[in-house]
Amino acid sequence: MSFLSYLIKGISLGSVYSIIALGYTMVYGIAKMLNFAHGDVIMVGGFVIYTLMSLAGINPLISVLAAIVICTLLGVTIEGIAYRPLRKASSLAVLITAIGVSYFLQNVALLVYGSNPKSFTSVINVPALKLADGKLTITGETLVTIPLCIIIMVILNLFIKKSKVGRSMIAVSEDKDAAVLMGVNVNKTIAITFAIGSALAGVASALMFSTYPNLSSTSGAMPGIKAFVAAVFGGIGSIPGAMIGGVLLGIIQILSSAYISTQLADAIVFLILILVLLIKPTGIMGKKLHEKV
């Protein structure tokens, strides 16, 4: 029974990683850049909810919605101010800028909220489910997280596959010049991608801090890196890859901290990443496109 409960916990954490990894992978696919500030957007989302709910006493749902809106605006603003002027710069310059944005967000949070970690109150008010005579307990957070993440992924997939905006996103990610020739506004498409990724970061912040309530200026960094690993794991640029990579990563992390060592759990996660990349450099779902000439 304990294995099952760890597995469920792993899937729950993993689906949050998936949601975050989607932001990385979509932005990478379209703008060909790694947005290392993505994890810190989650942290900002956490502080927005904390401020509204715990400090101002506002209803949790409204607080979460506000966090999603603020994260979305933040993502679009970061893209517009920091990344757009560098569209033609070297990828190294963009990467350094992204790291700079990440530190900037962390330090602003440090300045405003201080260095003492805050205790985040769960936004989810669902009773835990006790199964098998109380031997298996599924927390309310898990009960909300897993279905919500599945719904988000289904909707996102449909949006990208079936909508005109989604098609233009695929077109830009594949061939910017050809997309421009079709009349696609590349800057607008990139901004939309950042908006979607950051909105997902807002959702992820509510789910993650409800389960792991330790909130400080750096608490977005580690999940951010893990989600980045998940995206690479699944094949960076691939949306189903990010989903699978995220869930697998969550399961691996929880199982290894349960059965091997809590301290080594993160090391094991990164070790597996290295192994996967050695065997299949493009990640699980990543594929090289063979274009006929």
- Contact residues toward another protein (CB under 8 A) are 164, 167-168, 170-171, 174-175, 177-186, 289-293
DSSP conformation letters of 176-245: HHHHHHTT--HHHHHHHHHHHHHHHHHHHHHHHHHHS-EE-TTTTHHHHHHHHHHHHHH-TT-HHHHHHH
Burial class (CB in 10 A: 0-12, 13-18, 19+), 113: middle
Q: How far is the CB of 174 from another protein (least distance, A)?
A: 5
Q: How far is the CB of 78 from another protein (least distance, A)?
A: 23
- Cβ of 73: how many Cβ atoms within 10 Å? 14
Q: How far is the CB of 44 from another protein (least distance, A)?
A: 32
| For another protein, the closer CB: 278 or 289 | 289
| For another protein, the closer CB: 169 or 244 | 169
* b/e sequence 142-169, b meaning 16+ C-beta within 10 Å: bbbbbebbeebbeebeeebeeeeebebb
Q: How far is the CB of 289 from another protein (least distance, A)?
A: 5
| For another protein, the closer CB: 134 or 290 | 290
Contact at 8 Å (CB) between 53 and 288? no
Q: How far is the CB of 175 from another protein (least distance, A)?
A: 5
| For another protein, the closer CB: 135 or 188 | 188
Bridge-based pairing of strands 214-215 and 118-119 is antiparallel
| For another protein, the closer CB: 115 or 185 | 185
Q: How far is the CB of 99 from another protein (least distance, A)?
A: 29
| For another protein, the closer CB: 179 or 204 | 179
| For another protein, the closer CB: 25 or 145 | 25
Question: For 132, left (φ over 0), alpha (ψ -120 to 50), or beta?
Answer: left
- Cβ of 257: how many Cβ atoms within 10 Å? 19
Q: How far is the CB of 170 from another protein (least distance, A)?
A: 6
Residue closest to 160 by CA, chosen among 172, 148, 149: 172
